[in-house]
Amino acid sequence: MQDSFAAEGQAKVDPQILRGLMKKSDRAGFVQFGSHLLALVASGSLLWLTWGSWWGVPVFVVHGMLINWLYAAQHESSHETVFRTRWINEALGRFTGFVLMFPRDYDRWQHFCHHRHTQDPEKDAELVYQSLYNGRFADLLALVGITYWIGLWATMIRHAVTGRRIPVSEYYLSEEQEKKVVAEARWHLALYAVFISASFALQTWAIVIVWWAPMIATAWTHQVQNFIEHGGMPFLDDTWRSTRTVKTNPVMHWLSWQMVYHTAHHTYPGVPFHRLRELHETIVAARGEEPVTQTYAAHVGDVLRETFVRNPDEATA
């Protein structure tokens, strides 16, 4: 996706500067993904060695976070901005999509729809999908990952079994895309079955210990990023108003692949992850204002207040 979503009439980045920022780098991609993968190998090895002890608890959480935040790599591969070489971007997306149980093509087309119709309750594919889970505690269940995992697996199984898309929430898929999504779901499930069968044959819990258990249990560590990006933001034709930037520490900048600059990313999604800080600063200079910015802790606090406090009177009751 190379589109520009800068609001009409608002200050835009100089085209020449933007072209420079849009240059992709295989080196930057390999450094970022390589460091993330090395961290995963280290945390996974340490988890295996400490499993069953109290030392394994913090390692379990860290390892789970590193797995879940691989979605940053999958997201960037969907935009084809991790590497200059296209097939490497696709290979990365296939790998991360399999690990995260979130098929790459399905995620990619849903995400493109989200970019084109950000915060539109009737057209933003991610909002339409979320609307299938209603109720007072819907946000809280999604934040901790319960409806997230139920939704992923239910969707994958439905695609594989019925051979069709979900009409209401997947209106954006063409017939050709629908066929690819179905085939993708089927080979995903087939490979998971192979892993499970191999585990039984080898009598090992390895995939549970170093993959599924930490990934599923710590989904909330990444769900907070999904929530903070657009949660509670209005539907406006201006990414600077409909998208939120995150104020956080250098570790989270690395773990998120700089996606904490989400407002800048939504404004010019063709700019690679490693240039987002520069893009953010350039847009701020052009517009003369900072985007809506919040910390993770503050946003979680907002979600909890909205979940447990229905109105101002109840807050003081």
Q: What is the pLDDT of residue 141?
A: 87
Does 34 fall in a domain? yes
Q: What is the pLDDT of residue 8?
A: 46
The sign of the torsion formed by the CA atoms of 111, 116, 119, 121 equals negative
Per DSSP, 126 falls in state H
Does 42 fall in a domain? yes
How many helices (H) and strands (E) the chain has is answered by 19, 2
Does 29 fall in a domain? yes
Does 5 fall in a domain? no
pLDDT lower than 70: segments of the chain? 1-11, 128-136, 310-317
Does 8 fall in a domain? no
DSSP assignment of 83-113: -SSHHHHHHHHHHHHHHTT--HHHHHHHHHH
Q: What is the pLDDT of residue 4?
A: 53
Does 133 fall in a domain? yes
Number of domains in the chain: 1
Q: How is residue 297 written in tokens?
A: 């802790």
Chain Cα centroid distance, residue 216: 15
Does 226 fall in a domain? yes
User: Phi and psi (nearest 5°) for 75?
Assistant: -60, -50
Q: How far apart are CA 71 and CA 115, in angstroms?
A: 17
Does 56 fall in a domain? yes
Q: What is the pLDDT of residue 99?
A: 98
218 contacts 68 by C-beta, under 8 angstroms: yes
Domain that holds residue 261: 15-309
Q: How far apart are CA 125 and CA 213, in angstroms?
A: 28
Q: How far apart are CA 156 and CA 282, in angstroms?
A: 40
248-289: pLDDT as tens digits: 999 999 999 999 999 999 999 999 999 999 999 999 999 999
| Exposure class string for 234-255: b at 16+ Cβ within 10 A, else e | ebeebbbbbbbbbebeeebbeb
The sign of the torsion formed by the CA atoms of 129, 130, 135, 137 equals positive
Q: How far apart are CA 279 and CA 92, in angstroms?
A: 24
The three-state secondary structure class of 294 is: strand
How many Cβ atoms are within 10 Å of 283's Cβ, its own excluded?
Answer: 25
Rg (C-alpha) for the chain, rounded Å, is 20
CA neighbours closer than 13 Å in the CB half-sphere of residue 44: 17
Q: What is the pLDDT of residue 168?
A: 79
